[in-house]
Amino acid sequence: MAALFATDPSAAVLRVVREAGTAVSATEIKQALRAAGVSAFDKRTWNRLQKKLRVHDHIIVEPGYRYMWVAEPVVPPAADAFEQIVRSVGGRIKRAHAEVIRQALADAPYMSEIAARQRQAVLDGVRALAELASEVEELTVNQASTRAMIHRVRSRVKLAGLEPIERAGDSTVFDRKRHEPIGPSIDDGAHVIVVRPGYRWKTPHDDVLVSRACVQE
Amino acid sequence: MCAARRPTVGLDFGTSTTLVASTRGLIPIGNDTTFPWMPSLVGYADDGTVVAGENAQHLPDGQLARSIKRSITEGRDFVRIDVPTGAKDIRTDALITELLREAGRRGARRGRDIGVGSLVRLGCPAMWDGRQRRRLLGAAQRADLPVVLATMIDEPVAAGIAWLDRQRVHTGRPLRIVVFDMGGGTLDLAVLDVRGANHKDVSVLAALGIAEAGDDLDEAIAADLDIELAKAGIDIDAIENQPRARVWLRDAARTTKELLSSNDEEPIVLSPQVFGRAAEIWYTRGQLNEVFMPHMERAEDAVGLALMIARITESAKSAYEIARMPMDLLVQGVDVVLLSGGMCRIPYVRQRLEWLFESSTKVELAMDPPENAVVVGLARAGDYGTINMYRPAFDVLLEWNRGQEFRTVYEAFTPLVERSQIARGEDDLRYTRNGRDLSLPRNGKGKLRVVSYSGERLRATIGSRNLDGFPVALSDEKFGFSIYPDGRIRMTDGAGTFEGRVDDWHRLDAE
């Protein structure tokens, strides 16, 4: 032990704690070192050793500053570990930087949830599309009238918040905000025929132009 | 870890679907499907294993238990199911356990561990009494869900919380809310009184439910379509494969009902393979409303009854007077009517309620989509204090012989007022038990004991002392114990009559 202390005093202290098999105080560690033949050392040396002991992965500090060896390193929750680091570096960290990390750590447990919700949003869209496709096929096989077919298509997309712009086959006056010419540009106010309708997506919070109605002069 | 810091999960075990949410919103738990929920289906596969959710959808009808939640509402303990050894009566609670366990597993897979480290708030119909709540609680605990009676929340209360949580401006004055929660299986109603800083104290003045909702409407629409087809010259009874045609019609009824939520008319294009010829009939929202009318009339009667119970809880008027109050007086003072549950997508529901209530009363969705309101409210309920003044969350026990013998004087979640008492116009409305009901000894000494399920100790006094521990002079002849809807308590024993009250219940006339 004395030889080990001479070459690596921290390792000697750790061996004392590990071999104690229970939590030991600073006084008990010093007594054990002395009993093993380690010559007296000054307070400064001990303070240095004690600092290393406290942050060792296999050491936990119990109430009353008693040190105990644990076989598996104690891994605190990420947020607690970060707060320990913040405390140990004192004022040498920007508050804004610390806050960014705190927020990221707070969000971390929710990442799987967020991913599941994002997937669900895609699935909601895919389902609406699939329902529309299957309904069109069914109506076609059942010999639905054109009126019924168009009505049902518009009903389905309306459930998803889509509002049609114009109706295929109708005549109207060109409006560049609502219409997209097929081919060469068309002047505002010109008479046009709607080739296919456009759509807006409307919710209480959003009004998005998904596609303009395609028109031809 | 203290309860307040444990991650909270809401679990809405519905008649048709089961949903899970965290405080941040709905957690999609659908498997091999595009829906965010799990169907509330459970059954036995061919190899004898129990399957829940989507996997049960493909089982033959005999191997499947549908709407298993209703077994608790209807007090059924067993359901007959085909298992590999033949038809067998299976304990419904065991099937519910499997269903809840599956929901918990799926929540965990999507990042929200529903285990010991979390706190699950489980919804239940407001109409359930203590025994029904304990049945669900037992099933949930056997599914290893960390839930206690204190974390079981009435579904309409949860829907109210989902709405309150989104309110940015709080006027500070009390709010009177009616929650109209119409799902596939039941209509749940609650009258809430919301007070306190930021409207965080929610009191349930009345809560009741009727076992009638969306599924019944689908049947009624299908029956109406049958008549429409007859008008178009198609007699379903004469069709070769009549059962197939009726299944087709019921499916068309459900689709048409959904699509008429945003349109005035919808085509129903018949399948020539099923009906023998091609045909098209147009079904209007007016026709739907007409079919829906009797359902909504019964729903409005239930709203009226809930408002009467709320009045009895808060008012000095006699029950006789309240039972005879016209609807236009009953609906006065309601600030908001909140719509929850899938059926509230039907515009007629909102329209009827707008007609029923005063023009100053707002009628709006508890949240959009309304099917998510209960589960999201459950997850957020930890920020709110809820007191159920209609079905109080505490037992009152009378014990004697050093606690070796006892009787339950009041069992938690028993309604203080029965519907029949209101219908009869009884004047002295209260919950009451006497010495003979309880088979008390003729004499001796006992003590009252209070067991609270709200998560906090109940503050209640009698004869200027704590209700809990109050000494009782036993008497089978003289003993009587009453709780009034306004929180007053009265007990008569061999020594005299003592008055008291539940201090936790706010005095509704105090603000």
Model pLDDT for residues A74-88, shown as the tens digit of each residue: 777 788 888 888 888
pLDDT at B6: 66
pLDDT tens-digit series, residues B352-361: 999 999 999 9
Chains A and B: how many Cβ contacts under 8 Å?
A: 77
- Looking at chain A, which residue has its C-alpha nearest residue B37? A120
Q: Is B267 on the interface with A (CB under 8 A)?
A: yes
Q: Would you call B106 helix, strand, or coil by DSSP? A: helix
- Flag the least confident range among A175-184, A192-201, B211-220, B356-365: B211-220
Mean pLDDT of B314-325: 77
Q: Does the beta-carbon distance from A155 to B26 stay under 8 Å?
A: no
Q: Is A133 on the interface with B (CB under 8 A)?
A: no
User: 């998005």: which residue's tokens?
Assistant: A208
Q: Does domain B214-289 have CATH number 3.90.640.10?
A: yes
Q: Which of B122, B169, B266, B209 is nearest to B390 (CA)?
A: B209
Strand partners, B203: B193, B387
- Looking at chain B, which residue has its C-alpha nearest residue A142? B271
Q: Is A103 on the interface with B (CB under 8 A)?
A: no
pLDDT at B181: 92
- The two structure tokens encoding residue A69: 């060896």
For residues A26 and A46, give the distance between their C-alpha atoms in angstroms, rounded to a whole number. Answer: 9
Q: Is A210 on the interface with B (CB under 8 A)?
A: no
Average model confidence (pLDDT) for chain B?
89
Q: Is B322 on the interface with A (CB under 8 A)?
A: no
User: What number of other Cβ atoms are within 10 A of residue A35's Cβ?
Assistant: 10
Residue B105 clears pLDDT 50, i.e. is over it: yes
Task: Name every residue whose Cβ is closer than 8 Å to that of residue B289 and which is 6 or more positions away in sequence.
Answer: B348, B351
Residue A213 clears pLDDT 60, i.e. is over it: yes
Residues of B in contact with A152 (CB under 8 A): 259, 266-267
CA distance A144 to chain B (A): 6
Residue B1 clears pLDDT 60, i.e. is over it: no
CA distance A117 to chain B (A): 6
The ipTM estimated for the assembled molecules is 0.79
Q: How confident is the model at residue B351 (pLDDT cuts 50, 70, 90)?
A: very high
Q: Are strands B460-462 and A162-165 parallel, antiparallel or unpaired?
A: unpaired
| Contact by Cβ (8 Å): B88, B81 | yes
Q: Would you call B144 helix, strand, or coil by DSSP? A: coil
For residues B333 and B295, give the distance between their C-alpha atoms in angstroms, rounded to a whole number. Answer: 25
Q: What is the CATH number of domain B3-147?
A: 3.30.420.40
Residues of A in contact with B261 (CB under 8 A): 159
| Contact by Cβ (8 Å): B181, B155 | yes
Residue B467 clears pLDDT 80, i.e. is over it: yes
- Looking at chain A, which residue has its C-alpha nearest residue B276? A142
Task: Name every residue whose Cβ is closer than 8 Å to that of residue B102 and which is 6 or more positions away in sequence.
Answer: B38, B52, B53
Buried b or exposed e, range A136-164, using 16+ CB within 10 angstroms: eeebeebebeeebbbbbbbbbbbbbbbeb
Q: What is the CATH number of domain A2-69?
A: 1.10.10
Residue B84 clears pLDDT 60, i.e. is over it: yes
- Residue B73 one-letter amino acid: T
| Contact by Cβ (8 Å): A70, A60 | yes
Q: Does domain B165-212+293-372 have CATH number 3.30.420.40?
A: yes
For residues B238 and B224, give the distance between their C-alpha atoms in angstroms, rounded to a whole number. Answer: 17
Q: Is A127 on the interface with B (CB under 8 A)?
A: yes
Q: What is the pTM of this model?
A: 0.80
For residues A22 and A24, give the distance between their C-alpha atoms in angstroms, rounded to a whole number. Answer: 6
| Closest in B111, B262, B368 to A116, CB measured | B111
For residues B32 and B43, give the distance between their C-alpha atoms in angstroms, rounded to a whole number. Answer: 18
Q: Is B272 on the interface with A (CB under 8 A)?
A: yes
| Closest in A123, A127, A144 to B280, CB measured | A144
pLDDT at A143: 94
- Most confidently modeled of B161-170, B355-364, B501-510? B355-364
Q: Is B269 on the interface with A (CB under 8 A)?
A: yes
| Closest in B30, B110, B259 to A113, CB measured | B110
Q: Which of B386, B348, B350, B390 is nearest to B366 (CA)?
A: B350
Residue B162 clears pLDDT 90, i.e. is over it: yes
Mean pLDDT of B377-406: 90
End-to-end CA gap in chain A: 98
**DSSP-H helix ranges across chain A:** 2-7, 9-20, 26-35, 43-55, 78-89, 95-107, 111-141, 146-159
Task: List chain A domain ranges.
Answer: 2-69, 78-108, 163-217
Start and end residues for every CATH 3.30.420.40 domain found in chain B: 3-147, 165-212+293-372
